[in-house]
Structure 1
Amino acid sequence: MLYPENLEDKIGFDKIRNLLRERCLSGPGRTFVDKMRFSDDAGQVDKLVSQTEEFRQILASEEPFPASHYLDTSTILDKSRAEGAYLDTEEFYDLKRSLETILRIHEFFRRFPESYPLLHDLSGMVTLDKSLLKKIEEKIDEKGQLRNNASRELQNIRQRMQQEQVRARRLLDSMMRSARGEGYTPEDATLTVRGGRLVIPVLAEHKRRIKGFIHDESATGQTVYLEPAEVLEINNDIRDLEYQERREIIRILRALTDEVRPNIQPLKRAYHFLGMIDFIRAKAILAGDLEATRPESVKHTHVEWYGARHPLLFLAHQAAGKPVVPLHITLNKQQRIILISGPNAGGKSVTLKTVGLVQYMWQCGMLVPVDGHSKMGTFKSLFIDIGDEQSIENDLSTYSSHLTNMRKFLTLADKRSLFLIDEFGTGTEPQFGGAIAEAILEEMNQLKAYGVITTHYSNLKKYGEDHPGIVNAAMQFDLDDLEPLYELEIGKPGSSYALEIARKIGLPGPVLKKARTLVGIEQVRYDRLLNRLEEEKRKYNKLTKGAEKEKERLESSAREYESLREFLDEERKKIIQEAKADAKRLLKETNQRIENTIREIREQGAEKLKTRELRKELEEYGEEIAPEEAPRPKPKPKEEVQVIDGPINPGDYVRLKGQEVTGEVLALAGKDAEIRIGGLKSKVKLKRLEKISKRTFKKSTDRSSSPSKGLDLTEKRAHFKSDLDLRGKRGEEAMGELERFMDTALILGEREVRIVHGKGDGILKDLVRNQLRQQRHVQSVRDEHPERGGAGVTIVEMKD
């Protein structure tokens, strides 16, 4: 149950739908976005969210996932239903490419059934007979044309046609040379085509000199286009062969359509699967943009969010380079209703909309921008009262519209409902508005509904302090600078800071004094008490955070010290044991050597010369076993960069002055130099560069090279679209975008891309195609199908 009907617009979910549509690749995917609905089935919500999480993991991995040819073939399949109908080659080409995509996706999930179990289960709806694709591929080539060998008859016809065309060309070339020699043709005239037949341009005054059929004449009438009688029969034969070719093509296409017709239902399911994958992929991409996660799912009504962020505010602040203050909020059986108070423009309404939008996204099966250890529950109903619903047609004032909403809430809400009310009770006399609001709050509390309410009324704050199930909360405020902090603090009411803000703005003292008198001393004291409590709590929190950090630092140091002490004790014991073992071995060897020496001295009869030699050997052995002093490490000299004097030219290696960045000079343009730094090109002022040796450049490149640094294939793959629109762009700008687009397509392994340049005078088209033909990784370029843009769109086929 959702109330009101425009709830999605109220909380901003209509903009979330638009963001999803932008990330879809196909019409069926966008249809799924439009059909997405709020669900109160916790199991279904968990399944949808888990599917999106699995696809987010695919994008996070670097496994290549098919991201092209997500085509809508519904009209093609409907056309093929009728007996005797046939699809044209372009339609079969679309069918072929999209079926390849479906089967590649199906194969992907077949390879990873354990990693992506839910998406693998979805792929079970694809029950296509692969022989159908094989039959289409046998007839339709990679360029969308019918193959010459699609049938033996077609092959014979096209071979004969080619032979006749060659014969006609040779004969016409001979006649053209003869006519040119006689002066019958205009200067620089060449063979041309009129009405599908090769003709010779002939000057009008000489048209009777050559026998034949005149097909056309120039705008001035000075030139006629004549088909000589000698080639008339040959061209007639060619035309007859063209008719035969057309009949054979239709026969082949009709037979191939007959193969499609029995498979329409499996094809429908397969394309339903493709649209669903496109939709889930779009949700996963948006989740990445929002830094959304899959928190823990609980099946009952529960809100326990940490680090929640309003999705639209997050994207806007991210684009502006500003942070978003996260929201921490809990709604459970003991704390079902939160009353948020505080100054205007302090973030109360944003908090309210964050709760509504994030919960709605979750129950639509989307990942949500909260910390991963949060918990998301499921509500049966969602009610919201935000903004001005004044209606002239229905004779409703603002306050009347609010009361109408409250009547709906009281009638429909239960313990599985979540309601959100902004500026509760406003729109009428405060004394009565506050009383009615308090009565409604009491009833909602008795219904055990869950809710978030923003208010300025003191009676509601006091009511929240005295009744279980309701808790006060405040948007924090900097009392020193009188500026909002946009942080929600649950547990105490907040002040509106009306008098303080009025004083900062500069209202006269007598006016403020009179206002305090009118408010009443008790209310002023209550407000001051709230201010003092907030200030003292902020100081206490600051001290507590400092103490906690110091405690954590001391505990960390203690753990490091204890770990180091244990390590040193173990090492000391190990070294002592090893030293004892070595000493025992040395002592044994030394005693053995001494005994041998004494024995030899005795056996030699104490000859002085021999005794000296034996003593010398003993001394040398003593030096061998003596401990060596560890050599002191020599300081490694700092490598100096060799700078070369002289002018900088293309091909030189340079370094940015005062930095470690090096590159190669590609070209000079005045005072600027175009240099290549790694895989990037950049323009830099010459005065910022200094020439270095090739050896220095190579060392710098070796130190800084890293195969994956700076290249996020996941981000590129997630945001890459196979269409590039250059319409309305200047030549230099368009060529730059085209180069970057083709580089990305090459890195991602795209097989085919589309360049939209429009028709116009054909200048941009020529620039695009000339640049494409110069690229080695481009296999071919051609016009798009006339129904999809024709010469205004270039199809680029990449080499394998």
Structure 2
Amino acid sequence: MIQDQVITLRQNRFVIPIKASSRGKVKGIVHDQSSSGVTVFIEPIETVELNNRIASLEAEEKQEIRRVLLELTTLVRTYRFDIEETIVGLGELDFINGKTKLSERWQCQQPNITDRRAFNLLKARHPLLLLQHEHDRDQVVPTTIHLDEDTSTLLITGPNTGGKTVSLKTVGLLMLMVQAGLHIPVEKDSEVCVFDAIFADIGDMQSIEQNLSTFSSHIQHIVKVLEKADERSLVLLDELGAGTDPAEGASLGIAILEYLDGVKAKCMATTHHDALKSYAYTHPRTINACVEFDVNTLSPTYHLLFGVPGKSNAFIIAERLGLPEHIIQRAHSLMDEDVLRVDQLIRKLTSDSEEMERKKAEIESRHRGVLRLEKETDRLLLEAEKERQAILDRALEESKKIVDRAIKQSQDVLRTLPAKNREQGREQVKTLHREAADIRKKLNKAQRSQKAARSSPSQKQKIAVGAKVRITDFGQIGSVLQLSKDGKQAEIQVGMMRLELPVQQLSLVQKAEVSSRPKVSVADRSGNPADTQHVPVELVIVGKRVDDALDLVNSYLDQAFLSGLPSVGIVHGIGTGTLKKAVSGFLQTHPHVVKYAVDSQNYGMTNVELVQK
């Protein structure tokens, strides 16, 4: 009769499973039946009152729970504002803790925030790539990306899969991270500025539903960007001019970049169009950059090279991806000879740029070595000076002790003399005492002079440009770069810092070396223009802004001409080529210049032949 020897629940009441054929044998209430109809679940009449009692108790329990919750809610409500403030504070602390953990996990740095419209991201890594390779961050290749104040547009070219788009995304994400108060995955001394808006047109946003092709989707997005971009904007454009006729697409791309330059927006763009590469060469505020491609391994290195355009390497990439060789050979044969010559030129430029980067890294390494040696030399000089002062102090103190012992011994000898000779001896001792007092006075004066020499420069040895001096307040040793006209202030180089201090706070450690050749320094401009001894044969403008540099060059050429110098050199450095290009354009029309050319041994200097009076 009973289907299973169990008691179960139906509709929250205890029931017994009974075979359907035996349901008449058990008096009670049927609450349910099985899906097959073989079993019915009956509440026996004997347990109805017990189940009613259980239901009543459960209802009372729910009512009591509700009452307790209402009472607790009323108590909490009185502290509502305190609780809300606590929750907000905990949220802020949790956010700060999250930022700290992220910074530690990704080995991030706090960049320097500048008011200038420029940024310099040293060895930057894409945040999502770091997230993907958290266990081995070295798999994420760092890249250095910079855009100075005088440059409005950075045009990145090079092969597909080389890292052009990743470079755009890296800059955009890192800028947003900084403005959100986060540290970013870069090297120390990176520099960023704050933008009011960051616009990006990246990726293929074609849509069948919205009837948008690749080209039209890009243009729709760019139209919105151009409406809002201004001098406080950063614009990131991927594959500019793609998706349409190459000639028309390149022309549109140039027009868009010119408009963004006109509104003074900062822009980074990627492209494959040769016309845009040429535009970057001719436009003074646009520079080329390319993603490096290793022709030996036929693979990208994901590093950016500045100052040279990149080639697309479409044939190499197609071959790597499995395109048959005979198709690639046929494509080579169809290329125009001019295009092939341009391709070879780009290869040579890229190779030369890589060689210059290698030499630059080698020079920087040697420079760091020289700085270490200078620091060690300064330390040894300071220790030697301290040791010399200590020896002098000990010698003066020992001299005083010798004088004091001599006086004491003379007094002891005087007491041992017979009475008849004591008066005569006393006169002699008085004479010795006067001489000893004079000697002691001289020793005290010498000691005071030594102390004074430590706190003020020697009057006999004047501090000059190039001398090694010690800053008395800090004990640091540095080199004198420049003196004010009245000689009371000095500009000192201490390690990587430049300080302007009163000469009274300096003491001479080593005299300036006398050189037969004039010092190569911009500061040398201040001499008499008619005196060749005050006009250097070279002018250093490395690191100067274009306008400031051209003012210096103009003044310098006037002085050199009046001094009768036949030729001079202008050291502008290599860098991105912006300063070199500006100097070259300036020299073309200068009345004192006969001809000029980049030095064959030093690509960072331009030799200038001057008109003779």
Query: How high is the TM-score relative to the length of structure 1?
Result: 0.39
Query: How high is the TM-score relative to the length of structure 2?
Result: 0.49
